[in-house]
Structures are given as C-alpha cells and as structure tokens.
Amino acid sequence: MARKAAKRNPRPKPKGKTTSSGAKRRITTASARKSPKTKSRPSVAKPPAPPKWLSAIAKAEWKRLAPALTKLGKLTDLDLSSFEGYCESYALWRNAQEWLNKPTHQPTIVLRDKDGKVKQLAAVPHVTIARNALADMQRLGALFGLSPADRRGAAPSRQPNYTKRPPAAADNSDQERSKAADALAAMRADVGIEIVN
C-alpha cells in the first residue's frame, strides 16, 4: 500500500491592499514596525579611580589610559575588571623588563656539572614572566583598541608565506609551463633519464 504524502498547509497570504500590478502588499503601522536594535553600552561619565589594590605602576597606567578610553566609550562599568587585568599585566611586564635590563642581570642561567662543563642553559624566570605578561597585555589591550590593528577593526597582517610561489599571470602561464618543461627535459637528459610514452 502506498502511503499518502502529508499535505502541508499553504503559506499564508499577506492581507492588505493590492498594488498596481495586482500583488498584495502588507500594510503596517508605525507601532507594528520594529525599530532596529541598538547595542546599548553602560557608560561612565568620568574615568573611574584606580582600585586601591593595584600596584603603583599599574595605577600610573590606569591614570594614563582611563581618561582617553572613557572618552571613546571603550571603558565602561562592565569593562573594569578586564582593564584592571591589563594594567596589572603592564606592571608585571615592566618590572620583569626593568630587572632584565640591568647590566648585572643575565637573561640565562648556566647550569654546570661537577666538572665545570656547561650542562644546560636555562632562562631566568623573569624572561617567562615578561613574555606571559606581554601576551596578556596584547590580548586584553585588544578589547580596548590599544593597537592600530584593533582600532582599525582588522586582524593584524601576517608574515607572507615565502614557501609558496605567487601565481603566474594568466597570459604568461603557457610560456612558463613550456620553459619549465624544457628545463625538466634538459635535467633528465643530463642525468640520463629517458621517458617513453
């Protein structure tokens, strides 16, 4: 027995006046039209004071950036914890870099065995601290548009891939193929390879 296909309900036709072509168009009132939804951001009237628990360097960074970010609307009540993290990451990075920049401090530790031979070179913890703090600064700073690429809204440009050859121009492709085939044939002849079809 064949099954009958279920019948779908026809699409409802719009109610309203007909146009000059005879097609019906829907009439809506102003109250029925939906206004476009705008994203509302909680605003901050003036730059907030830095939290008391921030370090001195982090407070200085807060005071340097908060007025400009507030004016641009990038720093709101909801963003304060991320901004605190950015400022504290800046302080960690700066402290680690200042330690590494002192002439008496070396960025590596030389580990020697009991005979005095160099066994291993290791980075001091300040190198890792500086590297991680800088990565945190870049990640959190992107939320506030602190780099030119973030202000532009574009992803930072990547290094070109030099391993791939750029595509040849359309009009030169046949010439390049024939040159490549001739070069390959010459190499095969030099080596003594004969290709039989």
Q: Among the listed ranges 7-11, 52-56, 75-79, which one has the minimum average pLDDT value?
A: 7-11
3-state secondary structure of 158: coil
Q: What tokens were used for 161?
A: 């891939």
For residue 82, the model assigns a pLDDT of 92
Q: Indicate if the pLDDT at residue 148 is higher than 80.
A: yes
Residue 146 lies in a domain: yes
Residue 164 lies in a domain: no
Q: How confident is the model at residue 104 (pLDDT cuts 50, 70, 90)?
A: confident
The 10s digit of each residue's pLDDT in 161-187 is: 555 555 544 455 666 666 666 766 665
Rounded distance, CA 19 to CA 169, Å? Answer: 53
Residue 34 lies in a domain: no
Question: Across residues 40-58, what is the average pLDDT?
Answer: 81
Residue 26 lies in a domain: no
Rounded distance, CA 97 to CA 93, Å? Answer: 6
Most confident stretch, 9-13, 118-122, 160-164: 118-122
Residue 115 lies in a domain: yes
Q: What is the domain extent for residue 138?
A: 54-150
Q: What tokens were used for 48?
A: 């907030």
Cβ-contact 168, 175 below 8 angstroms: no
Residue 112 lies in a domain: yes
Domain count, the chain: 1
Q: Among the listed ranges 4-13, 76-85, 116-125, 183-192, which one has the minimum average pLDDT value?
A: 183-192
For residue 121, the model assigns a pLDDT of 80
Residue 184 lies in a domain: no
Question: Across residues 141-146, what is the average pLDDT?
Answer: 90
Which residue do the tokens 């009991």 mark? 114
Residue 84 lies in a domain: yes
DSSP assignment letter at 77: G
Rounded distance, CA 39 to CA 121, Å? Answer: 53
Cβ-contact 127, 97 below 8 angstroms: no
Q: At what angle are helices 80-101 and 56-72 packed, to 10 degrees? A: 140
